Structure 1
Amino acid sequence: MKNMAALSEQPATAPVAGAAVSGTTGDPRTRDRVRQLLLERGALTAAQLGAALGLSPAAIRRHLDAMLADGDVVAREQSVRANRRRGRPAKVFVLTDDARGRCGTHHYDNMATAALRWIAREGGPGAVDAFAAEQVAALEARCRAALEGAGDDPLARAEALAGALTAEGYAANATTIASGGQLCQHHCPVAHVAAEFPQLCEAETAVISRLIGTHVQRLATIAHGDGVCTTHIPGQPGRAQSGRTVTTVRTDR
């Protein structure tokens, strides 16, 4: 998971060093900055966005095309002024209502982070651990109910858990790989807070381990700068790998 603290220290309109060369549609930080600019300014052309972010025209177009496909922005024709030269008016991009609503969640993230800082200061690290465990307890109970009938095989349980987590908004999928299995979560509701308080990720990993019924290893997390939360599930001795992949429907768009 990406270091959100480092990102938040950069001005929203500051150019990104080297972004014109290396910008890709898969960088969520760039799209976050596009959203922030549109939130602050209302409507901008692709050229204005590219100049503010230090992105080449081709790079900003790739980001905007992806955001259009995801329903984060819509394109409109720019209002034509009386003294404007003839020609096709430039398109401006504005946030959709859904994307604008999501921008407001960071206020709650800031409040949650401040609350956890207070808990850590007043109660110590153990109090944060206890809070994290209590927060995931309800999630564990709901997922456990969804896993009834999944059997005892860890990989089968991981597939069932992926479906349960997707229903909770985590956009998860489970895949069988050579060394066992892999559970991926493409969305994290608490990523900004977990970047400072990894106890939230640790409590969630413990829940995954208990629900699947075996030791698991967290390989990557969105809160620490990775694009996906990835949990490895060791293969069982003597168990043939089927190569089966079960992918659930994305719910974070």
Structure 2
Amino acid sequence: MKNVRTATEAAEESSVAQESHARTRERVARAILENGPSTAAALADQLGLTPAAVRRHLDALLADGVIEAREQRVYGQRGRGRPAKVFVITDAGRDEFEQAYDDLAVGALQFLADTGGEELVAAFARHRVADLERRYRPVIEAVEPAERTRVLAEVLSDDGYAASADESPVTDGEQLCQHHCPVAHVAERFPQLCEAETEVFARLLNTHVQRIATIAHGDGVCTTHVPRSP
């Protein structure tokens, strides 16, 4: 009986360890999803893990196709040595986080395009984001103009877009970044969804904004440039 108990306890301990590893691996993947391209060192610091532990989870996520490695973009003068490697979420990785799109959505929009033309798809896209604009407007208008990009990022994050607002590294202004897009695959076929969302941002911030990168087009993050107000 002693040997049976020992084997059972060992199996239970192994199961607990595997579950713990799976949860930590998901934390690593979610951190990359929410914060965009990330280095192993940054992930270790953010999650309170050792660099060696992070690298093990990154290797597993790479093997599963959840993330991919890229060279880090360097703005301005590059120092000596190779750029640091950053990790980004793949399309398959985004699927792991239950994106709200499927073949039915693409088929429905294709039907609208075939029967009513591309303008009908654009009208649907504007209708889709009208509720977003209605809910966000009082929150945005309640703060000073200089704070509005940051507050917009906060309310977008509350809706699952994992957004952030930072100073632009290359121009005079800010960058509104969305690290998650629930309709990325649909928007890949129908860019009217992105265009309608950008129009809403411009109205909410009361300035001309420019979408310079989108997840739907293969970028790691949806990035919108917001010029600095006079």
TM range (shorter): 0.5 to 0.7
Asked if 1:221 is matched to 2:214, the reply is yes
Q: 1:104 to 1:195 in 2, by over 3 A?
A: same
Asked if 1:157 is matched to 2:148, the reply is yes
Residue aligning to 1:170: 161
Bigger fraction of residues in helix: 2
Residue aligning to 1:62: 58
Q: Secondary structure at the match of 1:194?
A: helix
C-alpha distance in 2 between matches for 1:104 and 1:150: 33
Asked if 1:147 is matched to 2:140, the reply is yes
Residue aligning to 1:117: 110
Q: Secondary structure at the match of 1:111?
A: helix
Deviation of 1:61 after TM superposition, in Å, equals 5.7
C-alpha distance in 2 between matches for 1:67 and 1:209: 40
Asked if 1:205 is matched to 2:201, the reply is no
Q: 1:225 to 1:65 in 2, by over 3 A?
A: closer
Residue aligning to 1:48: none
Q: Please, which runs of 5 or more residues in structure 1 have no aligned partner?
A: 1-24, 29-58, 71-98, 238-253
1:127-164 superposed Cα distances (whole Å, 9 cap, x missing partner): 0010000000011111113224212x2x4111110001
Tell me the amino acid that sits aligned with residue 191 of structure 2: P
Residue aligning to 1:185: 178
2:129 to 127, 131, 136: 136
Q: 1:124 to 1:136 in 2, by over 3 A?
A: same
Q: 1:60 to 1:224 in 2, by over 3 A?
A: farther
1:43-93 superposed Cα distances (whole Å, 9 cap, x missing partner): xxxxxxxxxxxxxxxx9862426899x9xxxxxxxxxxxxxxxxxxxxxxx
1:187-241 superposed Cα distances (whole Å, 9 cap, x missing partner): 001101000000000000000111111000000000000000000011234xxxx
C-alpha distance in 1 between matches for 2:114 and 2:97: 29
C-alpha distance in 1 between matches for 2:209 and 2:186: 23
Please give the residue correspondences for 1:79-94 in structure 2 after superposition, counting only pairs within 5 Å: none
Residue aligning to 1:195: 188
Q: Secondary structure at the match of 1:215?
A: coil
Q: Secondary structure at the match of 1:64?
A: helix
Q: Secondary structure at the match of 2:201?
A: helix
Q: 1:184 to 1:67 in 2, by over 3 A?
A: farther
Q: 1:105 to 1:220 in 2, by over 3 A?
A: closer
Count of paired positions: 150
Identity %: 49
Q: Secondary structure at the match of 1:114?
A: helix
Tell me the amino acid that sits aligned with residue 192 of structure 2: Q
Q: Give the TM-score normalised by the residue count of structure 2.
A: 0.58
Task: Kindly indicate whether structure 1 or structure 2 has the higher relative contact order, using CA contacts under 8 Å at least 6 residues apart.
Answer: 1
